[in-house]
Structure 1
């Protein structure tokens, strides 16, 4: 290198060395940036699109129709997704069906993103779709209702007593299932959508109820908003109060950290 610069005047040599230093620094920066993992960009929170509602274990669409109708009454496009079979099969297959329904809604409405409401096991389906099914690029918001994000003791019991009759989704909802371990490893709320988890402290199906707590989400036990609310697991999608909470979380802008100050308004 010294030979290259030997014939240059001192001032020119210093200038050339400075330029080379800048170039090297730029190349190092580019290399570092290239090594940083790329995450899905957060969807535009100011532009709510169609809403897809995902049923829980058993696949009953009727449990969500009242909530879908209330969302539809606000002018939003709201669809309850029919899960394959009886909704007790592989939750990953249900996530693929959700992905098909999302693409159909986007084609039908021309929207750039969707909101997803997952009830009970439907919240796990929504998370699988975001994590593995391309949902990170298409979801604006994911709201889960009473979802066993960390398993439920009922599934644990079913697996321990009679594993064979326990359907695939039942086994996947056990706290130590491979599916939930993988889904909860690292970031429980990956980039792309914003996340909200709503549940009731009176849940006797998802036990303990805190299994619904999702790291990185806006976490809202119903009773943290209205302390005297009486809502069980099956009543979550039908409760007028919970429906009002869901509507508040589906609005334009960032998710809302509801408090007791909002209770009267939500109940009116």
Structure 2
């Protein structure tokens, strides 16, 4: 990969932590700004690269279509047509029911556009919805690739806050608790052979801590990026990781080209800093 680990001094570590915290806070603010847009997001049908499948985005718990707007705009600039759907009030309903709705949307979309399959991105709980669709509801007939971004595949104890707040009316907050029957069934079911999976997680995600790769996800497709939960839909690196995955060859013997993506499979110690080739070249020039 060409990455080098550089030992950092205490002041450098402090500066690095502060810089990271500021960036995460900025991403949270931008995410919140898009959240309040609600579900009033228009679909741009100017499909300038029709050779590329449509992209379907599924937002997470307490999210709206507006929260997926940064990803939507990036894919549209890339020439793709992008669709996102609203799943009730802030996605409070059962994940199983939302997966049924998603499968119906995917079927209708493929039929109307005359495409075989789409590329699907599920953010946070949206990843669980997409995975349930392809494993249990024939969604694999309509999905080529599934990217799960910050999805609580092993559960999240933050669900307890949801149980206390909306547990009476929201089945989904119970379903995302660690050890829930829903998650056990979801992870135990096999992945359809014709669907490729990728997990993308944020190293500083406290809402949905990275769970490790699930069965069916290749080592090269478990991506860890800097940032927090909101960074996954706001920052540019997760988008690039999605594009690389969607456009990669499917030959299992050919490794994906990930040189342009900062990623790691294991946490980096606090006293070390990951330096990529570009940063090393820049330092040498100085």
Deviation at 1:48, TM superposition (A): 4.4
In the aligned structure 1, how far is the partner of 2:206 from the partner of 2:52?
33
**Is the CA contact 2:92–2:172 (under 8 Å) kept in the aligned structure 1?**
yes
Tell me which residue corresponds to 1:204. Answer: 206
Any stretches of 5+ residues in structure 2 without a counterpart?
1-50, 263-275, 280-286
Normalised TM-score (structure 1): 0.70
Matches within 5 A, 1:1-268: 48-156=52-160, 159=163, 164-165=167-168, 167-187=170-190, 189-206=191-208, 209-211=209-211, 213-217=213-217, 218-222=221-225, 229=226, 231-254=227-250, 257=256, 259=258, 262-263=261-262
Superimposed CA distance per residue, residues 24-82 of structure 1 (whole angstroms, 9 cap, x where no aligned partner): xxxxxxxxxxxxxxxxxxxxxxx742111000012311111110121122221211121
Q: CA RMSD in A?
A: 2.7
Aligned match of 1:12: none
Gaps of 5+ in 1: 1-46, 223-228
After superposing the two structures, state which structure 1 stretch, 150-159 or 108-117, moved more. 150-159
Q: TM-score, normalised by structure 2?
A: 0.66
For the pair shown, the structure with the greater C-alpha radius of gyration is: 1
